[in-house]
Chain A
Amino acid sequence: RKMATLSVCQPQLGGFSFENCKRNAVLEAEVTKLGCNVPSARKTGTTICGVVFKDGIVLGADTRATEGMIVADKNCSKIHYISPNIYCCGAGTAADTEMTTQIISSNLELHSLSTSRLPRVATANRMLKQMLFRYQGHIGAALVLGGVDCNGPHLYSIYPHGSTDKLPYVTMGSGSLAAMAVFEDRYKQDMEEEDAKRLVRDAIAAGIFNDLGSGSNIDLCVITKGRVDYLRPHDMANKKGVRTGNYKYKQGTTGVLTKSVIKLDLEVVEETVQTMDTS
């Protein structure tokens, strides 16, 4: 009844609906009183980073997704496609980064169709920061955006509240400090592609081995003018071990003393045939 009367006054709009917020708050209070936990969102406790080299950008990410203290996904892909020349790594809440990058990718595609030009990284950056600021940080997406456009290679880091930085090397996520330490030590301007790939691989490895929230493999994405190499996985740093011994016993290891067979008589009580409805 209430829903019908509500829709009289205002036209129904799409987007976020805040109807259940009060109910959720009450539920959460009740549940914590009983001692249980409300299920938490899946985060990507992460190490992501990016670096500008001579001809383009190298983006790197680990592949672990966590749900509290449990590894939810051992091999998730954190480097998202935005446009043929722009890719974006996402840290924070996994669903938020996924949906945000998909929306921006669609918008950028429509925009580039309308302008009939290859999209620019600054456009993607502006769209992302305006959307994240509109939601005041409630969308938990920390992103590293990189690409090559008509003005050269560009690298941005975008924080959940909507601030952005344009830098030659950036790291984000829970393992960002470990990765930044590697960058600060070995970054040089105008590196070659192989050096840049090695540097990013080492930075992500530092995050993987020194941060509990990051783990599994290292993904790389190398973007240059006219070419994108999506290397997944570039380096399997944490391969699962192979069991060296076999604990199965051979047939006949245990000696048999006696053997007795008891037949179990089952009689048919009822038999029904149910025809399939194939009309």
Chain B
Amino acid sequence: MNIFLILSCLNSLRQLQCSVPKATMFFHISAGIFMTGGMCAPVIPLSLAKNTRGLRSQLKDSVPVTGMGPQVGAYGVQDTLRSGFSSVKNELLPSHALELSEKNFQLNQDKMNFSNLRNIQGLHAPLKLQMEYRAARQIQRLPFLQSSHLALDTLKGNDESISFEDILNDPAQSEMMGEPHIMVEYKLGMM
């Protein structure tokens, strides 16, 4: 795969007829590609690839939409204690056209941004950012209390924008509180 990329680079360079000596250009480009394309999934700079559709199945950036299927807990069965009784009718179709897309909106945006960043700057950029996000996400109170997520918000840029998440259904004002014991047990069990 990498050899193919290098050859296609040289071809396009020849067409562009750049004045920089070809040998140095070769080393620059090959170094760049080895950095970005070090994984089994080839990351092809979009400017060079003529047809990205054929390789889409190999790109690991496509996002499967999660959410409507039966929630399986341990032992592969419906976890009745945690998610209540199940009903096929409720899980067959989403109740609103936007329900699934809104549930996964932040997730999908992040994946899209990270894959763009990876294509532009290389693998190191999303890796570093995700490491910082993971560190900031750990700064929070116990699960049943409201934490401000200030560090995470600042990193994501949410401190400079207002959307419906801040106005409607503010979790700090909700009338129901989660069961403290169950929530802490769940969180520790996950970890």
Given contacts A21-B99, A22-B90, contact A12 B174 (CB under 8 A): yes
* Complex: A15 Cα to B95 Cα, angstroms: 16
Is B90's CB under 8 angstroms from A138's CB? no
Stretch touching chain B among A47-55, A71-79, A104-112, A225-233:
A104-112
Choose one: A9, A18, A103, A110; the contact of B83 (CB below 8 Å).
A9
Is B98's CB under 8 angstroms from A17's CB? no
Is B84's CB under 8 angstroms from A2's CB? yes
**Chain B residue at minimum C-beta to C-beta distance from A12:** B171
Chain B 131-163, CB-CB to A under 8 Å as 1, else 0, gives 000000000000100000000000000001111
Is A16's CB under 8 angstroms from B83's CB? no
Is A5's CB under 8 angstroms from B105's CB? no
Which residues from 71 to 102 on chain B have a C-beta closer than 8 Å to any C-beta of chain A?
71, 81-84, 90, 94-99, 101-102
Chain A 157-184, CB-CB to B under 8 Å as 1, else 0, gives 0000000000000000000000000000
Which residues from 94 to 135 on chain B have a C-beta closer than 8 Å to any C-beta of chain A?
94-99, 101-102, 105
Q: Does A8 make an interface contact (CB < 8 A)?
A: yes
Min CB–CB distance B21 → chain A (angstroms): 41
In order of increasing CB-CB distance, the 5 nearest A-B pairs are A21-B95, A7-B178, A12-B171, A14-B165, A15-B165
Q: Beyond the given A4-B176, A16-B102, could you list 13 further A-B residue pairs with CB under 8 A, ordered by the A residue number?
A: A4-B179, A5-B81, A5-B179, A9-B83, A11-B143, A14-B165, A14-B171, A16-B98, A21-B95, A21-B96, A22-B95, A25-B95, A134-B105
